[in-house]
Structure 1
Amino acid sequence: MPAFLGTLRTGTSGIVVPGPKATFPEAYQSTSRLTYYATLFNSVEINSTFYRIPQPKTFAAWAAETGPEFDFTIKLWRDITHTTALADNLSGIVRFMDAARELGPKKGCLLIQFPPSNTIRQLNAVSALLTALAAADPAHEWRKAVEFRHPSWYTDDTFDMLDQHGASLVLHDKGPARNAQLNEGQTLSICASTALRATTESPTSATFCMTRLSRYTTTSRMGKTCMPTSTIPWAPLLKMPKTCTGW
């Protein structure tokens, strides 16, 4: 692996390992898929946390199945992010953060993804949610990464608000996010291309992913911590999986 992967963390959205366990190296055929996956990447984005809050013991098991340098990006529960009230669900925020605490030192990014219906008109509500999340994480163990789907968010007011909360803007390959600025000391980038295997299949997304990766190798040497995340099927050329997540 290139030396810069000490600060550039990559992984997939979900535990993406092709083939049955019988095709794994012999030492990993009797282990979990996550354990083998953790030998290929140094991070993973967990999407199941978006649909329900796992039991604390589930988070603890994930941590136990990976090495000491591995960490997890988890997506915040949709009952918090996909409502109009947002910060009003304080009990849900506390339950989520308490359960995720079982990851121990393997906490990476907390991915806070909003739906396209969430617009800049909810700036104060989003700010209140980030305040509530910080209160539920008094030790500041999580890096917060915010993903917007509506174009109205890509303004200086948004960047200022995120900076005030120490949160970074998620960069993805859709809409205005493609050219958004880096606003914090860490960046979560999501490349949701359907195929990086050949640029002829998805030239725009593939170019975006590779350009971001190139920028991160430079940026990380300047002191930022970067993590690209892409959604790419396994490509023989690059040996990369369906989704690559990095910060």
Structure 2
Amino acid sequence: MDFGKVDNVEKIDFSMPQDHVDNEQFFNRLSKGKQPNIYIGCPAWADKNFVEKIYPPKTKNNEYLTYYSKNFSTIELNSTYYAIPKQETIQGWKNKTQPGFKFCPKIPAQISHQHQMVNAEKTTQQFTETISLWKEYLGICFLVLPPSFNPSRSQILTKYISEFPLPLAIEFRHPQWFSSSKQATETFCELEKRGVSMVITDVAGRRDVLHQRVTTNTAVIRFVGNNLHNSDYQRLDHWIERIHYWSTNGVENIYFFVHQPQSNLAIDTAIYFAAQLSKKHQIITKSPQLLKFDIQQTFF
């Protein structure tokens, strides 16, 4: 992921911000006591770097999703950003996944960037009707706003989300959304009212998008690592504590999407994250299982 990418992370302050001041009041309205659902995933399943790590040797392309869903519980589906899949494709993908798996598709760029949510009703209907075929396999949809989309255009956004029929999370990128402006605050309150989540992105070059605002009982986190630099583990440890705090306060669903420049390291990142959730807070979630090879086979 190029958004927020930097060449050198040594001088980046990776400290976790304090929990957002508005969360406490929101948490008071949530029911407590449920074990959270933690979904861990990557941005792609068709990754050859996963072969011989979590995919068996000689795995065919059309088998990748099957093995991916045995190791991860969700996918940040980027392909829908470029085109709406055919209905038979949706059904085919569903048939290849394990029970409980969640597809999290990005809303097409035709809606978010070309039309910028204006006069996009027809495309939105086509998109939502198609992905609804996933039924219980549908997680949450991503609406990635253009970098130029600032709070002055908030009415366009609030109108769009008021008519969107499926679970939705919005990724804000313009810096003014994180400046505590009146328009931004009002928009976030509208998200809370409409049951729309905010995407939280933990990336080196844009620490403002690590905003910690929770507007629903579903949190969506995009973790962009730096090839298992020491800071990656520190950040993951911070997230484990924050997720535990949120879950004890009523956040029931947490999507944690892992990005790494060397994509195979996303597997190691996910394994560490899941293991520490279990060890420190007894929160159990699906984790990648590394393949075990018979050492004797390497000699023949």
Q: TM-score normalized by structure 1?
A: 0.81
CA distance in 1, matches of 2:156, 2:79: 24
Of 162, 184, 196, 2:216 maps to 184
Structure 2 residue 125 is the aligned partner of structure 1 residue 101: no
Paired AA for residue 144 in structure 1 = L
Residue 238 of structure 2 corresponds to residue 211 of structure 1: yes
Q: Helix, strand or coil for the counterpart of 1:53?
A: coil
Report the 3-state secondary structure (helix = DSSP H, G, I; strand = E; otherwise coil) of the residue aligned with 2:216: coil
Alpha-carbon distance, 1:230 to partner: 2.4
Between the aligned partners of 1:60 and 1:222, the Cα distance in structure 2 is 36
Query: Which residue does the alignment assign to 1:169?
Result: 198
| Correspondences of 1:46-195 after superposition (within 5 Å) | 46-83=77-114, 85-134=116-165, 142-154=166-178, 155=180, 156-173=185-202, 174-195=206-227
Residue number in structure 1 paired with 2:249: 222
Displacement of 1:22 in angstroms is: 10
Q: Deviations over 1:180-208 (max 9, x none)?
A: 3222111101112342x232xxx3x6543
Q: Structure 1 residue 102: deviation in Å?
A: 1.5
2-structure distance, mates of 1:53, 1:171 = 25
> What are the Cα deviations for residues 115-148 of structure 1, in whole angstroms up to 9, with x where unaligned?
11110011000111112213xxxxxxx3211001
How far apart, CA to CA, are the structure 2 residues paired with 1:165 and 1:223? 18
Determine the C-alpha separation between the residues in 2 that align with 1:113 and 1:64: 28
Per-residue deviation, 1:98: 1.2
Could you tell me the TM-score, scaled by structure 2's length?
Answer: 0.67
Structure 2 distance, partners of 1:237, 1:42, is 13
In structure 1, what is the equivalent of residue 11 of structure 2? none
Aligned residues with identical type, % of pairs: 20
Deviations 1:19-52 (A, max 9, x none): 44798348x9466101001111111111000011
Helix, strand or coil for the counterpart of 2:188? helix
In 1, Cα distance between the equivalents of 2:146 and 2:64? 30
Greater gyration radius: 2
SS in 2 for 1:179: coil
**What is the aligned-residue RMSD (CA, Å)?**
2.9
Greater Cα offset, 224-233 or 16-25: 16-25
Aligned residues: 227
Return 5+ residue gaps in structure 2 as ranges.
Answer: 1-33, 275-284, 286-300
Cα distance per residue 1:217-239 (max 9 Å; x no partner): 34224321211122123339935
Distance 2:218 2:125 in 1: 24
The answer to whether the Cα contact below 8 Å between 1:43 and 1:73 also exists between their aligned partners in 2 is yes
**Is residue 42–residue 266 contact of structure 2 (8 Å, CA) maintained in 1?**
no
Q: Which amino acid aligns with 2:155?
A: N
- 1:20-59 equivalences under 5 Å are 20=51, 24-25=55-56, 29=59, 32-59=63-90
Q: Distance in 1 between the 2:195 and 2:126 partners?
A: 22
Q: Distance in 2 between matches of 1:82 and 1:170?
A: 17
Distance 1:236 1:117 in 2: 30
* Residues in 1 aligned to 2:191 and 2:162: alpha-carbon distance in whole angstroms: 11
CA–CA separation in structure 1 for the residues paired with 2:190 and 2:199:
14
